[in-house]
């Protein structure tokens, strides 16, 4: 089986469609979503429906949860609050209920999905450092865990200690591992990458050759950027798509 793990779509329909087309080209058989379908960009409703139609496991992101509330969190920036209000106005009751009912964690025999961290996933903490990854590893029951939230691809390995590893094509085959290991992969963001690369980011896990591969996909970023402006959202949200930040 080939798993395509994606998330942090944030209402960017052009990026989402490009990623799903690339998954088809790569013969992905099992899409998986780490949440945050809404927020920041111009097509929250359309992105939600595209993902829902996949019929795949989806976990709840912080924007997915907060859009179902009646007000925005004060800790959010003004731009994020404006985008959250826009998403809320453009989702119908059935769509809000869909987001409200999404689980925080998806677990099967092979892998775990979570949006933020496994140590208190409802707290929406970030994993950017070795120590932050180490805390989440303590709660990880499978050898592989995929998450997002930071919008920056990253990979961490736990063996005798926890350390970051280069994330391009990672061999996770258990028969080739000398000691028990766990892997934690941040799949980056489809709809708003923040690592200086504007291209959409997602991950393929191939269970046959036991590899995890990071993919970057180009899309019509100019169209997505202009749609943000036409929707009346802050211009800065449009500009950061171009910059990948």
Domains contained in the chain, CATH given: 2-243 (3.60.21.10)
Task: Please tell me the predicted confidence (pLDDT) of residue 36.
Answer: 98
Mutual angle of helices 221-230 and 235-243, in 10-degree steps: 170
Task: Please tell me the predicted confidence (pLDDT) of residue 128.
Answer: 93
Task: Please tell me the predicted confidence (pLDDT) of residue 19.
Answer: 98
User: What's the whole-model pTM score?
Assistant: 0.94
Mean pLDDT in consecutive groups of 10 residues from the start of the chain, 245 residues: 97 98 97 98 98 98 95 90 96 97 95 97 95 95 96 92 83 61 95 97 93 96 97 96 94
Neighbours of 168 (CB within 10 A): 11
């Amino acid at each position: 089986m080939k798993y395509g793990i994606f998330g942090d779509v944030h209402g960017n329909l052009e990026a989402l469609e490009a990623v799903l087309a690339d998954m088809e080209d790569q013969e992905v058989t099992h899409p998986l979503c780490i949440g945050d379908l809404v927020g920041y960009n111009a097509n929250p409703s359309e992105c939600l429906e595209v993902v829902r139609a996949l019929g795949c496991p989806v976990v709840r992101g912080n924007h997915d949860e907060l859009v179902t509330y009646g007000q925005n969190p004060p800790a959010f920036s003004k731009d994020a609050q404006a985008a959250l209000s826009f998403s809320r106005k453009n989702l119908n009751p059935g769509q809000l209920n869909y987001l409200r009912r999404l689980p925080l964690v998806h677990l099967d025999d092979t892998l775990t999905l979570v949006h933020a961290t496994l140590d208190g996933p409802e707290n929406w903490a970030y994993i950017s450092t070795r120590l932050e990854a180490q805390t989440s590893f303590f709660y990880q029951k499978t050898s592989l865990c995929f998450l997002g939230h930071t919008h920056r691809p990253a990979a961490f390995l736990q063996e005798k200690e926890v350390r970051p590893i280069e994330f391009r094509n990672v061999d996770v085959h258990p028969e080739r591992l000398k000691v028990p290991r766990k892997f934690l992969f941040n799949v980056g963001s489809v709809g708003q990458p923040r690592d200086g690369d504007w291209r959409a980011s997602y991950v393929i896990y191939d269970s046959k050759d036991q590899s995890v591969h990071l993919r970057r996909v180009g899309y019509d970023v100019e169209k997505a950027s202009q749609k943000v402006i036409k929707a009346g959202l802050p211009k800065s949200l449009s500009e950061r798509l171009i910059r990948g930040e």
